Amino acid sequence: MAAVEFDVATGAKRYGFASLRRLKTPAEFSALLRAPRERSIRAERQMLSINAAWVTAGASSTGGTKSGDVRFGVTAGKRNARRSVDRTLVKRIVREACRHRAAAFEDCAAQASARIDIALRLKAPLLNEHGAPVAMRVWRRQIRADADSLLDEALTRLRARLPMSSTSRTN
C-alpha cells in the first residue's frame, strides 16, 4: 500500500489513509496494548505516547491484514483536550506525521514479513501548569514535534528488533 494513492477517476493524488491502514475498533487498540514486551515498543514524549507491536508472517494474523501492512491509530481523550475541535486537530496533526513516515514503516514491515500496528495517544492536557489553556500555536508545534520524534524512534527501534529477511540485509 503506497503512501500516496491516485484517484482513478480524476487522476488526482490522495494522501488519506485507506481503511486497511487504520486501527478502528477498541479491540484492535486493546490487542496492541496487550502485546508482550518482546513484540512491542513503547515510548513517550511531553504530550504524546506511542505503542507499536508487530506480528510476523509465521504467527496468526487477525483482521484479514497481510504481512507488510502498517496500521496507525490515534486517540485524544476528553480529559486531555476538552473541546472536540482540539481533539480533531490533534488527531489530524498526528495523522499527517504518520502519513509522512508510512512508506518507511511499510518498507520495514515488508522486509521483516510482519504486520505492524502503531497507536499514538495524547497523554497530557492542553493546559499549562496553572490550569490555563496553552496557546494553540504552542501546542500544535509541540504535538507535531513529539509525533515526529516518536515515529522516528519507533522506526529506528523496529529496524533494530525485527528479523529482516536475508535479501533485505544484502541491500
Q: Where are the domains of the chain?
A: 20-163
Tell which CATH architecture fits domain 20-163: 2-Layer Sandwich (3.30)
pLDDT tens-place string over residues 79-118:
999 999 999 999 999 999 999 999 999 999 999 999 999 9
Write the pLDDT tens digit of every residue in 36-81.
999 999 999 999 999 999 988 665 445 555 667 999 999 999 999 9
81-to-84, 120, 138, 141, 154 alpha-carbon distances in Å: 7, 15, 14, 16, 25
**pLDDT of 13 strictly over 90:** no
Q: What is the pLDDT of residues 145-164, one digit of tens each?
A: 999 999 999 999 999 998 87
The pTM score is 0.83
